[in-house]
Amino acid sequence: MKTMKLILVLATVLSVTNISADVVVTPTNVIGPIKPMNGVNNGPKIETGDQTSGNSVAYAAAQFPYARTHDAAFYSGYGGEHTVDITAIFPDFDKDVNDPKSYDFVLTDQYMKDIMSCGTAVFYRLGQKIEHNKKKYGIYPPKDYKKWARICEHIIRHYNEGWADGLHLGIKYWEIWNEPDLDAWGWDTNPRCWGGTEQQFFEFYEVAANHLNKCFPDLMIGGPAIAGNEEWGERFLDYMEKHNVELDFFSWHIYTNRPTDISEKAARMREAMKRHGYGDKESILNEWNYVRGWTKEFVYSLKAVSSEKGAAFTMATMVACQDQPVDKLMYYDARIGTGFNGLFDLYDLSPRPAYYAFYAWKRLLDYGQQVKVENDYEDIYATAAKNNDGKMMIILCRYSEDDNKSSKETYRVRLSEGQISKAIGHLTDEWHRYTEVPLNVTDGAIEVTLWPNSFIAIEM
């Protein structure tokens, strides 16, 4: 009799434990809109019929909401050194800022049109590419801050108002500079993004932002895309607050191998913005990717970026940030030829595993509204959305930094009320690329088996 009672108690405990560890979705608890976590840096390579491949079909299918243009000048397929950067468009700083002949828009025009032809909005970085070589060309403070701002004004008018035989693209976001804090830690005397002092940058940004905000009050003018020095970022925000500089968005970067590092930093960035009166402005993470280390482990990191681990890290980060006070994410990088491109193959430009994280998130965006998900599994990242018809999509991602984890695990998904009757899953792992797979529905719940570093998009 005592043995029977013990068996019953153990059965009850195990049952409760299994239920408490389920992924539980509450469709009636709407949290808010699914956010554009699926932006990227840089655009497609359009097919031209020559010896090179293109990726415009796959790029358009992913429907990336934004393509930030930083470092586009490194890729010849976009126009190389004659593309995007201020020194590329206005190569002689001594020329007349009001004369259209002082500008070279040709290749950047084509690049902008290529991006938008795939249904992606341009997020234009006003500034310069990073410069790693010993000799620098474009990263030093401009000779005349106001003239630099007026050059940017004419670039904006060219792309939005048709100035100088220009276009009418309606580009909304304009970012001033990139990673001015990169060399502020003091451990490297070789500047790569800003060759001046911190004070010089603050003054430069103030002049540029004030001029552009005055010229274009309806556009989003912001920056400065800090590399990661949060103390530097705090001083930047403090200076802008004290000088009454309008900041439509604050942009920042992080590279890590832990999605929680990114989501926790998103919360810190929002708190810093609040402390300086910018709490209601957009917080934009527009460079991020998997990096285990920058020295001896950097090669491993780049290999991981293009693998299933990179794909799972990407999806886990988007899921984690959906629940944090960050408005947009832009992955670095969709640019062809860089080791940070986990989206497209270097040679034939076919989709790599991480591409399908973006493809799945676009589907989630289409559903519209995020609904509450309770998840007690340690290695699972989960989010869900529903549309106006009551249909739902759930994403489960199993990400692990531990290379020794190699066993598959089964997880259960259920509703807080009611039962699931039918579901379709699309799996991405070592053997599948957003492949439709059968799902086992038992007692109104879904059972999902995942290997480490995989994710599944479930629609029901």
pLDDT at 252: 98
The CA distances from residue 168 to 86, 87, 111, 123, 152, in Å, are 20, 22, 14, 15, 16
Kindly report, residue by residue over 55-113, the tens digit of the pLDDT: 999 999 999 999 999 999 999 999 999 999 999 999 999 999 999 999 999 999 999 99
Cα–Cα distance for residue pair 347/321, rounded to 1 Å: 32
Kindly report, residue by residue over 155-179, the tens digit of the pLDDT: 999 999 999 999 999 999 999 999 9
pLDDT at 321: 98
The CA distances from residue 226 to 231, 237, 392, in Å, are 10, 11, 37
Kindly report, residue by residue over 345-400, the tens digit of the pLDDT: 999 999 999 999 999 999 999 999 999 999 989 899 999 999 999 999 999 999 99
How many Cα atoms occupy the beta-carbon half-sphere of 135 within 13 Å? 1
pLDDT at 50: 65
Give the bridge partners for 331, in sequence order: 40
pLDDT of 51 > 80? The answer is: no
pLDDT at 405: 87
Cα–Cα distance for residue pair 117/113, rounded to 1 Å: 6
pLDDT band at 404 (very low <50, low <70, confident <90, very high): confident
Assigned token pair, 175: 């970012």
pLDDT at 9: 34
pLDDT of 325 > 50? The answer is: yes
Phi then psi dihedrals of residue 432, to 5 deg: -125, 145
Cα–Cα distance for residue pair 324/112, rounded to 1 Å: 31
Neighbour-count burial of 11, counting CB atoms closer than 10 A to its CB (0-12 exposed, 13-18 middle, 19+ buried): exposed
* Residues 260-274, mean pLDDT to the nearest whole number: 98
pLDDT at 13: 33
* Residues 219-240, mean pLDDT to the nearest whole number: 97
pTM, to two decimals? 0.93
Residue given tokens 């986990």 in the structure block: 342
More confident residue, 1 or 279: 279
Cα–Cα distance for residue pair 47/52, rounded to 1 Å: 8
Contacts (Cβ under 8 Å, ≥6 apart) of 36: 65, 66, 327, 328, 329, 365
Assigned token pair, 149: 């701002």
User: For the chain, what is the largest distance between any 2 Cα atoms, rounded to a whole number of angstroms?
Assistant: 97
Closest by CA to 283, choosing from 246, 249, 247, is: 249
Kindly report, residue by residue over 13-40, the tens digit of the pLDDT: 333 334 446 999 999 999 999 999 999 9
Give the bridge partners for 315, in sequence order: none
More confident residue, 448 or 440: 448
Q: How does the average pLDDT of the chain come out, rounded?
A: 93
Residue given tokens 């984690």 in the structure block: 320
